[in-house]
Structure 1
Amino acid sequence: MPTASPSSVAESALAPHGEGAAGDRAVQQNLAASWPADLPAADEKELLTAGCGLLRADATGIGRARWPTVFPDSGGSVAPAFSTVRFRIQAAIARRDGSPDKAVVHLVWAGTDRGGTFTDLRITDWHFTRTIKKGATTWTPQPRT
């Protein structure tokens, strides 16, 4: 049976499934190294904050009213798909998405669904466009299609 060479082992920087929060740093480092930064730091920070909030709202149902264009049915009661107790974002990056006025927030996350199944290394992307409101530039999340 062939064995892995030291170089192939070194190339696999992702933490194994089930590593828990201890593996999140490796996931973040791998994600950032795989997709070099291409946005100003202030834009990246704004996008990461919004992207993480959107993911949390989407997965847990909490905070959907903040984004009525993304979650138009958020006025009623929403049964969360994932538990807030066992939900965490393992890694996140924000990058341009084809033009200076478009961006994507790429998130890797873990959570326990309503059936009690925990899964890590889940992937979600949120797309944004740069808009100008009242003279201020902001990033607006796009509804999923």
Structure 2
Amino acid sequence: MSTTPSTASATSTPPPVLESALPPHGEGVAGDGAIQRALEAAWPADLPTADERELLPAGRGLLRADATGTGRAKWSDVFPASDQAVVPAFATARFRIQAVIARRDGSPDKAVVHLVWAGMDRGGTFTDLRITDWHFTRTTSKKGASTWTPQPRT
């Protein structure tokens, strides 16, 4: 019977290092796919495809209008005329949506468009992985057609 200590512990490999599913800050466009996949994995789809097709471009348009000022007239209920003269915080050329999803927001008639984006502000500071949510309510016309209406920020 041997009394030699086991060498298994001395030769065992260390536990694996956990890697982030997100790219490092400043990765640029190359990292946007990873951000989109991480967002989709963290928040599984729960809306019909037709609703997502309507909500995603609306959310993108609202964020672009809010951040850059471009297209605010299209969203007059969200951006009143008094907001039209506001100098945008971000230049259109330095603004990019990195990822976007649309999901239910507590009921089938409410939704949220969750956006992750990057931009350079007027002061020249570039920041990525910014997060903005736009909330929508389903409205139905007298003819029975439904559409998603963005909710003004409170």
Same fold (TM over 0.5): yes
When the two structures are aligned, how many residues end up with a matched partner? 140
Deviates more, 1:120-129 or 1:133-142: 133-142
Q: Distance in 1 between matches of 2:142 and 2:68?
A: 32
Structure 1 residues 52-97: Cα deviation after superposition (integer angstroms, max 9, x where no partner): 0000000000100111110013574331110101100000000000
Which residue does 2:18 correspond to in 1?
A: 8
Give runs of aligned pairs for residues 105-144 of structure 1, distance below 5 A. Answer: 105-135=113-143, 136-144=145-153
Amino acid at match of 1:56: R
Q: Distance in 2 between matches of 1:52 and 1:115?
A: 23
Q: 5+ unaligned residues in a row in structure 2: which ranges? A: 1-13
Aligned-pair identity (%): 76
Amino acid at match of 2:30: A
Question: In 2 relative to 1, CA 36–120 (structure 1 residues): closer, same or farther, beyond 3 Å?
Answer: same
Asked if the contact 1:82/1:112 (under 8 Å) is kept, the reply is yes
Deviation at 1:45, TM superposition (A): 1.2
Structure whose CA Rg is larger: 2
44, 49, 55: which one pairs with 1:36? Answer: 44
Structure 1 residues 103-143: Cα deviation after superposition (integer angstroms, max 9, x where no partner): 00000000000101100000000000000124210000000
Question: In 2 relative to 1, CA 112–75 (structure 1 residues): closer, same or farther, beyond 3 Å?
Answer: closer
Amino acid at match of 2:86: V
Runs of 4+ in 1 over 2 A off after TM superposition: 4-7, 73-78
Which residue does 1:67 correspond to in 2?
A: 75
Q: Distance in 1 between matches of 2:72 and 2:51?
A: 22
Cα RMSD (Å) of the superposition?
A: 1.5
Give runs of aligned pairs for residues 75-90 of structure 1, distance below 5 A. Answer: 76-90=84-98
Deviation at 1:8, TM superposition (A): 1.5
TM-score (norm 1): 0.92
Asked if the contact 2:69/2:84 (under 8 Å) is kept, the reply is no
Q: Distance in 1 between matches of 2:54 and 2:109?
A: 14
Q: 5+ unaligned residues in a row in structure 1: which ranges? A: none
Asked if the contact 2:118/2:130 (under 8 Å) is kept, the reply is yes
TM-score (norm 2): 0.86
